[in-house]
Structure 1
Amino acid sequence: MAWQLHYTSARSGPTGRSGFQFVAETPGLPPGVRAAVTPFMAYRPPPDAPLSPRPEELERFPVALAYEPVGGRALLVRSRYLGQDYSGRYGNFFAHAVVAEREELEGLRPIELWQAEIWEERPGGGDLPPLDDLPPGTGVSPEALADRLAGDDAYRLLVRLVDAAVAALDRGHGRLVLVSEDAEPIVRWIAVLSYSLPVAAMPRLSFTTYSADPAGAPHRVVGTTPSVWSAAHHDDPAFFVGGGDDAGDGDDGGSRFARTVAGCWRESDFAGLDALGDLAVAQLDGDGDGDALLAPVLDGAAALLALCRGETGVSPEEEAAAAGLLTRHGARVPEWVWPELVPALPGVGFDLALAMHTWALRVDAAEVADRCAARCVILALEDPALGSRLPARLLPAKALDRLAPLVAAAFRRAASLTEVGRLTALASRAGIALPAGDVRAAAARCARRGAGDLRAALAAAPAAWRERLVEGAVAGLAGADPRERAGLLTDETCDLLHSRDWSAAPGVGLPVLASVGRRHRDRRVDVTGALLRLDGPAPDEVDDVLREVWAVPASAEECGALLDAFAEEVPRRPALARLPSRTFRQAALDGDEALEDAVLLRVAGRVLAHFAEGARAERDASVLVAHAKVVGALRPEEAAAGLDTIQGAADGATEELFETAFGGAARRLARRDPGFRAAVLAAVSPPVRARLVERWTASQGRGPWGRPGSGAGRRNELVEVALRLRLEGVREPRLEAWARATAGGWMASRRLDAYLRDEPRLRAALRDLVGDGDGSREG
């Protein structure tokens, strides 16, 4: 039902007061309705209207029919000027309001109530009956409107009006202003807009056929007169519709929807208008789409209708909008759409074909589904990135036979390795048999030009085709320009390829292995083996790469692994022959204790077994092994032999290793008992003896404030070493001089006497040593 209210200026209304008020209404008016309606109870005459109009002039004042959604209901207000009120003052008007539930307007556009029988010309009093029905008026039927549009040739204006109205609805503010001296043209254009837009948009298309304040009107479409408009602020678009001013203006532009609407009116194609509405409603009625922008919805509907009708000129963007409509709202799209689309299938894009395929499966149209799937395959061949979206459908043999030549042609024109990989995935997904030679040839051609990303290609290709793709790529790289090859062989690509057998493409294998070996220390031994197996590159080229790979010194483990695996090759390759010495040197820099590492000593043994005598690595290994013998010697003769070996390798060994090994051996021997040390000094060659004495006596220097640099016990032990060596008949002048100086002091002499109290032979030797010193001073 619908409720009625009458509003005017009365001497005494229902409340007993005078003035503008509701003078009559339907009993049982819902709470809040009267307050919601009150702001719309207004009417002001045009500024050029007579101030004291005669009765016949009153008939020419514009009637305002307004529609506005209010509080979940529809408010319709018809206002007309009455002239004088009960007191004789001018300015009185009568507003007849109808408040209806939205269901009451189902199938009815509010503008159809223009000149409806429900409207009263004069205000009543008391209770007004409820309206059980809202019968439309006359004069705004689609047929009559189409005739009038044809007579005015107003289709260009229609395009502009439709786009302006849709824009205002999407903004949610602002308005479209229609200007005419007479209300009838305004009513007609509001009616045309109402029939042009889908029913679902009608609640948002509020309007008034006349307002004296168009800038302040709350409606989206506002009618007014030229005199009002000339005095108003022009913030909104206005269209003069009364005298044909705008009928021929503009151009053939406008949105797809507006142009389609104009075409329907031109052809009196009311079925087309209904179809547009149905297609739009399918989107606007969707869950969560209540706030959807109207313009893209309507353009998508118009594009879809054009496709259904087989029209040309639908742009890819418009087709994408239509496809989006079908994809998101396919279950609500009218069933008549799908069969109408099938004839357009050979020319549609991927998204639309995929949506049609989904529909065909839903309705068990197997033949159409196959055709749609085949169309998707054809389009994916042009853009392999679409391959992952292909419908998983086994095509019939005839379709596969038709597609096979297209697939072969796609491989021949593939522009990059990535595209080749995607094409293999596409063919596999579609069930199309691929000749392995086609895949290899396409990959080789692209690689030869340096086109694509092999890593991306392999990621896109099915596992079954990756090896064929790599074979082709490697073959292409072998014949590529070095610059093109370098661009394609990124570090990531080299990581994928390095484990291959490079015997057939050594020129490609060389940079691949170089890249991997430089960056992955844990793979250097394997990379070295692969490089050594290459047959084709010059030895110098391989050596250059080996030097890059082993730029960081090898660890003892790596060096041992190399010698275990390539014992014959390492000494012959300059880049590899240097590795043991670099490893030994690094250990020496870490300190003499590092020279005792078991893995390092094993490497030294392997070097001694496979390197020629006199080679630097062999000399270094000899030093390392000799050092181990010295520090672990049980007999002085063994230690002496080790020291002589270290000294003998001095000329050819790495300096840092020699110094660390000899110095470390000297320090370790300095911890042995004096008898052992004296025996070592007696057994070594004079140069080694002098070097040892130099090391040992230097460590006995003076400390702070002239105090001895080491403990008295250590000095006494070294004096004992000198005495025992003297008793053995071996004279070492530097050691004896040091011992004599140490024993010459009164306190030192007393300590030595106490230290040697149980060694009469050593005490006698000490007296002789000191006496020799006294004799030399006297002489």
Structure 2
Amino acid sequence: MAWQLHYTSARRGPTGRAGFQFVAETPGLPDGVRAGVTPYLSYRPPPDAPPSPGDAELGEFPVSLLYDQVDGRPLLLRCRYLGRDYSGRFGNFFAHAVVAEPDELEGLRPAELWHAPHWTQRPAPESVLDALDELTPGAALDPEALAAWLASCPGDPYALLAHLVDAVADVLGRGHGRVVLVADDVELIARWIAVVSYSLPVAAAARLSFVTYTGDPDGAAQRLVGTTPAIWAAVRHRASHARAFRLGGRVPDGPPSRFARTVAGCWRDADFGGLDALGELAPPSDPAREGAGALLALCRGDATVTPDEEGAAAELLSRRGSGIPEWVWRDLVPGVPSMGLDLALAVHERARQAGAAEVARQCAVRVADRLSDALSTARDLSAVAAAARVADRAGLPLDAARVAAGAARCARHGAADVGAALSRCPDGLRGALLGGVLKGLSDAGERERATVLTPANCDLLYERAGLARAAPGVACAVLASVGRRDPARRVPVTGELLRLDGADLDRPLREVWAAPPTVDECAALLDAHGAALAAHPALAGLPSRTLTRLAFPGGDRLAEPAALRLAGRVRELLPDGRAGRDAAAVQAYAAAITAGPARAARALAEIADAGATPQLAGEAFIGAAQRLAERPPAFRAELLAALPAPVRARLGARWTADLPGRARAGRAPLRPADAERRNELVEVVLRLRARGARDPGLEAWTRTAAGRWLAAKQLDAHLARSPELRAELRDLLAEGGG
């Protein structure tokens, strides 16, 4: 049932007072309804209306029909201007309110009640009103009449309708805001409200509050608001948040949505079943309404649906799943030939689940056709993988050779999205995609190949088996990149490079070993490849580079066990060439600093004349000289005596060069430790002479170092227990005229 209320200005109402008040109502009005209706009870005449209208002019004042909710119940409120009240003052109006239970409007749209027979023009003379058992729509605003009226309107009413539908859908979706309809004729406004209401599902229309006329459009709480041009001109600067439409005026710029265009198309064709279908697919406030519009357009055979609109339709199908009405599958059959790949796939999947065999079959054919196009026009590897994934999802066989060909074409032109493509590609077709990438890279130019072979892509390709066999040229670049960046992989990468048949390996091997190998890496290379290293210049020199790096500074690390083991392994596997000579120099260094004088002398001679890498031999000799300088004078003299003259001179020069500056120059005084080093070297020279061997350089230095008075006194004390060495010193000084 529905309750009625009458409200106007009366001399004496039911309460006995004068003024605006409820003058009649249906008994049993639910609690709170009267208070809930009260805020809506107002009527402000248009500013350009006659201030003191006569009876004939009162009919020109716009009638206001308001629809809203009061405590969960529908409120329908019709207001009309009456002019004078009981006292003769202008400003009186009559409001007829109907408050119904929610189910009373089931199947009805509130706008249908614009000319409903239950509305009265003036307050009832009695204070008790009957309950309304049924709300009966007026006859003027049925869908058929509205469609005929739209068809007769000048201009393009369907374009205006589409923009209006978009605006209403927006405020319904946001839950706030308003749309303003501006016209002098309230009947025109009511018709447009009715058209919009019929464009919505019944449930959505129930949420669309509206008022056909208000004198305060800026303050109205309804979503769809009618007003006059004069009123809107006065308030529009305060209502920038509202979307206004001048009915009969210029259509707004910009394209409407697919949903709105589909609605307008249904009205143009008087396709009320289409409007119902739209509502069944998605209400206007649902973000999926674009998909609903696109889906219905396809059902109607519209070939102008864009890829974005098809994407929205595919999303709707995915969201609704089995909830898609059965008629959709039947009506979609004519639209399949124009479908894009994603939509055809979505329809195929959902149609199979729904048991719609015919549309599923046609979509399978369409998907296969589009996959063929997609593979031949793919601009990157991800597009190739996406096509393969679509085929997999659709359960369609896809020739691996076509996937490989598409991938090869993309890679040949520099498509670098290898990782993304492999992650998206179905397992069964990854091999084909990867094979195509390798084939394309083999045929690509240097610039395109470098674009594709990023570090990340090289790592991906390195992890795939069969790379070397499939594309040796590409394998060289990939292996070089991996080995250059990851020291832990240099040895296994080298092995893979050496297994490549007929490839130019010098450049990639040099890239991998741009930094010298560690002792362990070099040993691992020798163990794995042995004498084969000699066949590749980039590898043959690695032992020498490793040993040379160990020699700096001063050869200290050459005597470490790992270095000596490496040297032995090098001499075993690569006895000839520089690597073998460098290894021999390392072994000689170890002997020189550990053996007795005779063997140490032979070792020093080997270092000096081994034909080894100059940097290695030089540091080894310097290091050995420094270590031997720490031995007793008698050992050093015996060592010098056993050396060939050139090596003896070189060692002597090294020893004097390592002395502190003042001791080297023969100046005094010296710190005690420096004086001790000078004295011991002088003793070495004297013992060398006593053995019958001489070195001019050392003797010349000795004369300088011992020629001063203080130095002579200190040396005399140092040699106090060796009279024969004192005598030798006197002879040496005498030979120089000292």
TM-score between the two structures when normalised by the length of structure 2: 0.82
Q: Which residue of 2 aligns with 1:271?
A: 273
Given candidates 274, 279, 282, the residue that maps to 1:280 is 282
Q: Which residue of 1 aligns with 2:583?
A: 621
Shift of 1:654: 3.3
Q: Which residue of 2 aligns with 1:657?
A: 616
Q: Which residue of 2 aligns with 1:708?
A: 671
| In the alignment, structure 1 residue 579 sits paired with structure 2 residue 538 | no
Shift of 1:346: 4.5
Mapped to 2, the partners of 1:580 and 1:251 lie a distance apart of 78
Distance 1:239 1:133, change over 3 A: farther
Alignment of 1:337-376 (within 5 A): 337-365=328-356, 369=360, 372-373=363-364, 375-376=366-367
Mapped to 2, the partners of 1:113 and 1:571 lie a distance apart of 101
Q: Which residue of 1 aligns with 2:608?
A: 647
Contact persistence 1:723–1:765 (CA under 8 A): no
**Unaligned residue ranges in structure 2 (runs of 5+):** none
Q: Write the letter of the residue equivalent to 1:179.
A: A
SS at match of 2:640: helix
Shift of 1:586: 1.7
The C-alpha deviation readout for 1:462-489, integer Å capped at 9, x for no partner, is 5555555555555555555555555544
SS at match of 2:99: strand
Mapped to 1, the partners of 2:227 and 2:674 lie a distance apart of 117
Shift of 1:666: 1.8
Q: Which residue of 1 aligns with 2:315?
A: 324
Q: Which residue of 2 aligns with 1:396?
A: none
Mapped to 2, the partners of 1:657 and 1:685 lie a distance apart of 21
| In the alignment, structure 1 residue 554 sits paired with structure 2 residue 513 | no
Mapped to 2, the partners of 1:252 and 1:711 lie a distance apart of 97
Contact persistence 1:65–1:209 (CA under 8 A): yes
Mapped to 1, the partners of 2:440 and 2:234 lie a distance apart of 78
Distance 1:311 1:424, change over 3 A: closer
SS at match of 2:564: helix
User: What's the C-alpha RMSD, in Å, of the aligned pairs?
Assistant: 4.4
SS at match of 2:131: coil
Distance 1:228 1:621, change over 3 A: closer
Shift of 1:109: 2.1
Q: Which residue of 2 aligns with 1:82?
A: 82
Distance 1:323 1:129, change over 3 A: farther
Shift of 1:88: 2.3
Identity %: 52
Given candidates 195, 199, 203, the residue that maps to 1:196 is 199
Mapped to 2, the partners of 1:26 and 1:179 lie a distance apart of 35
Q: Write the letter of the residue equivalent to 2:592.
A: V
Given candidates 715, 724, 728, the residue that maps to 1:765 is 724
| In the alignment, structure 1 residue 301 sits paired with structure 2 residue 292 | yes
Q: Write the letter of the residue equivalent to 1:88.
A: G
Mapped to 1, the partners of 2:226 and 2:679 lie a distance apart of 123
SS at match of 2:650: helix
Alignment of 1:623-772 (within 5 A): 623-633=585-595, 635-649=596-610, 652-701=611-660, 702=662, 706-708=669-671, 710=673, 714=677, 717-732=680-695, 735=698, 759=721, 762=722, 764-772=723-731
Q: Write the letter of the residue equivalent to 1:156.
A: D
Q: Structure 1 stretch 216-225 or stretch 664-673: which is displaced more?
A: 216-225
Mapped to 1, the partners of 2:526 and 2:310 lie a distance apart of 68
SS at match of 2:282: helix
Q: Which residue of 1 aligns with 2:180?
A: 176
Distance 1:154 1:745, change over 3 A: closer
Q: Write the letter of the residue equivalent to 1:584.
A: L
Q: Write the letter of the residue equivalent to 1:69.
A: Q
Shift of 1:167: 0.5
Contact persistence 1:700–1:709 (CA under 8 A): no
Shift of 1:689: 2.8
Distance 1:497 1:765, change over 3 A: same
Alignment of 1:132-143 (within 5 A): 133-142=133-142
Mapped to 2, the partners of 1:140 and 1:740 lie a distance apart of 136
SS at match of 2:95: strand
SS at match of 1:642: helix
SS at match of 1:210: coil
Mapped to 1, the partners of 2:387 and 2:323 lie a distance apart of 35
Q: Which residue of 1 aligns with 2:145?
A: 145
Shift of 1:630: 0.8
**Unaligned residue ranges in structure 1 (runs of 5+):** 285-290, 385-409
Contact persistence 2:597–2:636 (CA under 8 A): yes
Shift of 1:66: 1.9
Shift of 1:596: 1.4
Shift of 1:329: 2.7
Contact persistence 2:703–2:733 (CA under 8 A): no
Mapped to 1, the partners of 2:388 and 2:217 lie a distance apart of 64
Shift of 1:628: 0.8
Mapped to 1, the partners of 2:612 and 2:620 lie a distance apart of 11
Contact persistence 2:607–2:617 (CA under 8 A): yes
Q: Write the letter of the residue equivalent to 1:177.
A: L
Mapped to 1, the partners of 2:668 and 2:734 lie a distance apart of 31
SS at match of 1:9: strand
Mapped to 1, the partners of 2:213 and 2:329 lie a distance apart of 44
The C-alpha deviation readout for 1:716-770, integer Å capped at 9, x for no partner, is 544554454344333456556766777788887887787667x5xx2x1143135
Mapped to 2, the partners of 1:470 and 1:141 lie a distance apart of 65
Q: Write the letter of the residue equivalent to 1:176.
A: V
The C-alpha deviation readout for 1:419-442, integer Å capped at 9, x for no partner, is 555556565666666666666666
Q: Which residue of 1 aligns with 2:190?
A: 187
Tell me the matched-pair count: 724
Q: Write the letter of the residue equivalent to 1:632.
A: T
Alignment of 1:354-753 (within 5 A): 354-365=345-356, 369=360, 372-373=363-364, 375-383=366-374, 458-463=422-427, 465-467=429-431, 474=438, 477-496=441-460, 500=466, 502=468, 507-532=473-498, 535-536=501-502, 542-571=505-534, 573-609=536-572, 615-633=577-595, 635-649=596-610, 652-701=611-660, 702=662, 706-708=669-671, 710=673, 714=677, 717-732=680-695, 735=698
Distance 1:706 1:311, change over 3 A: same
SS at match of 1:327: helix
Mapped to 2, the partners of 1:252 and 1:685 lie a distance apart of 101
Shift of 1:170: 1.8
Mapped to 2, the partners of 1:426 and 1:57 lie a distance apart of 70
Contact persistence 1:417–1:457 (CA under 8 A): yes
Distance 1:467 1:592, change over 3 A: same
Q: Which residue of 2 aligns with 1:287?
A: none
Contact persistence 2:159–2:251 (CA under 8 A): no
Distance 1:705 1:212, change over 3 A: farther
Q: Write the letter of the residue equivalent to 2:591.
A: K
The C-alpha deviation readout for 1:348-376, integer Å capped at 9, x for no partner, is 34444444445445444566655545544
Contact persistence 1:524–1:550 (CA under 8 A): yes
Q: Write the letter of the residue equivalent to 1:601.
A: L
Mapped to 2, the partners of 1:435 and 1:210 lie a distance apart of 66
Q: Structure 1 stretch 552-561 or stretch 85-94: which is displaced more?
A: 552-561
The C-alpha deviation readout for 1:489-527, integer Å capped at 9, x for no partner, is 444444455675757865555444444444344444444
The C-alpha deviation readout for 1:210-238, integer Å capped at 9, x for no partner, is 33445554444444557767777587645
Q: Write the letter of the residue equivalent to 2:202.
A: V
SS at match of 2:192: helix
| In the alignment, structure 1 residue 68 sits paired with structure 2 residue 65 | no
Shift of 1:84: 2.4
Distance 1:693 1:142, change over 3 A: same
Contact persistence 1:669–1:677 (CA under 8 A): yes
Contact persistence 1:640–1:684 (CA under 8 A): yes
